[in-house]
Every structure is written in C-alpha cells, then in structure tokens.
Structure 1
Amino acid sequence: MVNKIIHDALMIWVTIEPIGTVVLFSALTYRLSPTERRKTATMAIAYSAIILLGAILVGQIILTAMGIQLISLQIAGGIILFLFGLQMIFGRMVTAFSQPEAGHDIAVFPLAIPSIVGPESIMVVILLTDNYLHSVATQAITAGVMLGVLAVTYVLMLLAEHLLRIIGKNGAAILERIMGIILATLSVDLIIDAFAGIFQWIIPKP
C-alpha cells in the first residue's frame, strides 16, 4: 500500500505539475491584490478538485458505456503522458496561456483547465482507480492523495511570488525538466504493464 501511495503521488504530481502552475499563476495575477490572488487560487483548486473527483467517480463508467477497455486507455494514456513528459523536458512556454479568454475567469481558464487539470491528469486518476484492480478503500486513498497534491499546489500558488524570488525562473525550469523525466519513465511503465497484461491474456500461464 505504501508503494502504491508513493507511485500514485508521483504520477499525480507530475501530471498536475504544480511548479508550472505556480509560474503561470504568477504571470497571470501579478497585477491583482493579495485578496484577489487568494480568491483566484482557491477557485482554481476547487474547480480542479471537482473535475478530478468526477473523473474518479464516473470516468470508468463512461469509458465502459462507450465500449472502451481500460487497457486501451492505459496504452493511449501512456503514449500521451510520454509525449507530455518530453514536452516538459524540452521546455513548455507559459506564454501560450498567458492571456486569458475575454469574459472568462482566469481561475477556470487557463489555471484550472488546462494548467492544473489536463487530459493527462484526468487519464491518470482514472487509471489509478481502476474498479477491476482496486477496492473502494484503495480508490479512496488515491483520491485522498490527489486532494493532497492539489492542497500542496494551492499552498505553492499562495507562495508563488516568494518561491519564484528564491528559485528564479531558471530553477523552475530545471524542476519542470526533472518532473518531465520522471513522467516519461512512469509512462513507459504504464505501457509495459498494459502489454504484459495483454500477453498474459493471450498466453495464459500453464
């Protein structure tokens, strides 16, 4: 169980990618008052928690209704996560989302979506809470781990100005690349595990 908690925490951390969110949050809210920054961070985390908890509760049900096998999502998700990891390793420009949509709350876009909650984090929480592999109690623990990562992200967002002053943008870039390497490694494990399951199904043990 301890190994799963550590594994889940790493997977969720590198897909939510709090450091990148802190950089984006700082760029988007530097003109806001402390109260407005706190409100924006709170709403962004609240929206993110609702989306990810919804994915845990109904994500697999929707996939089953669509006739999509979870092992297919595991392979596709592993490939996407690997590409996402490569993007982190070779650099991702925050400026791509530096301008919010007109008339939209920045807590929703681009902070909650796609900075904190993207396709990769939704896929990860669905895969980590597979109904066929994990009990309800284990899934609840994974949900708790996810909420814990969001709580840490929230604290880092509130401390964004101080953190960036300490580590600088270069330090943030280095941390992002390290997380990218970890994510790429974990995504390869997902693909290997999926193919191992397929081979065991095709060639059962005597």
Structure 2
Amino acid sequence: MLSILITQFVVLWAVIDPIGTVPVYLSQTNGLTSKQKRLVALKAVGIATGVLLFFLIVGQFLLEAMQIPLPAFQAAGGLVLLLFALSMIFGEGKPAQETKLGEETDHSELASLAVYPLAIPSIASPGAMMAIVLLTDNHRNSIIDQSLTAGVMVLVLLATLLLLLGATGIHKIIGNVGAAIISRVMGLILAAVAVNNLLMGVRDFYF
C-alpha cells in the first residue's frame, strides 16, 4: 500500500506541478500587494482542490454518461494546455495597467485571476483531472483506496499552496526579468507535456 501511495504522490506531483505553477503565479500577481497575493494563492488552491475533488467523485460517471472515452478527454486537455503554453511563450509582456493593480483591484478581479490561469489550467490541469479519474477508477478501487488517493492529492495541493505563499521571496531573488525567463522556459516545457498528452490521447483513441 505504501508503494502505491508513493507512486500516486509522484504521479499527482508531476501533473499538478507545484513548482511549475510558481512562475505562472508570479507573472499573474505582478503589481498586487502582499495581502492580495496571499488571497489569490488561497483562492486558486481552494478552487483547484474543489475541481479535482469533483472529478475524483463524479468525473468517471460524468465521462461515461456522456460517452466520452478517456483518450478523447486526454487529447482535448493536451490541446488546451498547448494553447496556454503558447501564450506563455509568445505572449507580450504584462500590460502596464496590470502592474498598477495594487489597491485598486477588487475581490471579484482577484477571484477571476485565481480561477484562470492559476486554478485552471495551471494547478487543476486537464492532465491532473484525467489522472485523478484514472487513479480512482471505480471498477478497480474501493472507497477506502479512493479516500487515501484523495489524501495524497490534498497533500500535493498543500505543498502547492506553501510554494505560492513563498513565491514573493523567490521573486525578490530572481526579479521580474528572471520571472519572465522562467515563465517562458516553463511554457516550453508545458508545451512538450501538452503535445505528449495530445499524441497519447490520439494514439489510445485509435489503437
């Protein structure tokens, strides 16, 4: 059982990618106050947790009811990730008005920022949604096994939250230029992961 939980932890860490979320968080919260950054981090992780728990509980029933095979869901998720990765690589610098958000940013704007692109698709990525559905396959796992998997997922999400809360310190070290460089490098890596998911989904769908 311990080896299974360790394997699940590694899988969920890879698909949620807490470290890879840090540059996305830094770029999206540029110009916010420390309090607002913490609020965005808490909201983003909270929303991502809710989404992943939803897929853990009803994801398989939903896909089966809609007659959507998992490979098709994987391919669609890869396509969405690819588009987001391309925006990270080729997107223009942050608009000037975004660097002036500061105290003028209200809670609705912060909530919107927390939802996209932080909660979805950065933390609760299509790959993470698919992974949690596969790891909690109702045909192979008992309720206890699925509960343990949920605990592992929450542990990874807590690690994500801690990294985001410490991202300000990281930003002080690397600066805006460093954050921009990391963002584009992570965008390239994310594009590779997205293409891999897309090709695997297409392969599994036809073969």
Structure 1, 117-126 or 87-96: larger mean CA deviation: 87-96
Change in 2 beyond 3 A, CA 1:74/1:151: same
- State the partner residue of 1:190: 197
TM-score relative to the length of structure 1: 0.71
> Could you tell me how far apart the structure 2 residues matched to 1:176 and 1:6 are?
23
Deviation at 1:82, TM superposition (A): 1.8
Structure 2 residue matching 1:117: 3-state secondary structure: helix
> Could you tell me how far apart the structure 1 residues matched to 2:140 and 2:30 are?
38
Equivalent residue pairs, number: 195
**Cα deviation code 1:41-71 (max 9, x no counterpart):** 4344323322222233223322222232222
Aligned counterpart in structure 2 of residue 115 of structure 1, from 117, 123, 143: 117
**Cα deviation code 1:134-186 (max 9, x no counterpart):** 74677666645543443233223333332211011111122222222222222
Structure 2 residue matching 1:27: 3-state secondary structure: coil
> Could you tell me how far apart the structure 1 residues matched to 2:32 and 2:91 are?
19
- State the partner residue of 1:79: 79
Matched, 1:11 2:15: yes
> Could you tell me how far apart the structure 2 residues matched to 1:64 and 1:37 are?
39
Structure 1, 62-71 or 4-13: larger mean CA deviation: 4-13
> Could you tell me how far apart the structure 2 residues matched to 1:40 and 1:73 are?
28
> Could you tell me how far apart the structure 2 residues matched to 1:9 and 1:92 are?
29
**Percent identical residues:** 30
Matched, 1:25 2:29: yes
Q: Contact (CA 8 Å) 1:89, 1:176: kept in 2 or not?
A: yes
> Could you tell me how far apart the structure 1 residues matched to 2:47 and 2:157 are?
11
What amino acid maps onto 2:52 in structure 1?
L
> Could you tell me how far apart the structure 1 residues matched to 2:56 and 2:96 are?
29
Please, which runs of 5 or more residues in structure 2 have no aligned partner? none
- State the partner residue of 1:173: 180
> Could you tell me how far apart the structure 2 residues matched to 1:76 and 1:15 are?
24
Note the 1:119-158 alignment, pairs <5 A.
119=121, 121-128=124-131, 129-130=133-134, 131=137, 135=141, 143-144=150-151, 146-158=153-165
> Could you tell me how far apart the structure 1 residues matched to 2:96 and 2:19 are?
18
> Could you tell me how far apart the structure 2 residues matched to 1:171 and 1:52 are?
31
Please, which runs of 5 or more residues in structure 1 have no aligned partner? 201-206
TM-score relative to the length of structure 2: 0.71
Change in 2 beyond 3 A, CA 1:191/1:51: closer
Deviation at 1:132, TM superposition (A): 7.4
Change in 2 beyond 3 A, CA 1:142/1:161: same
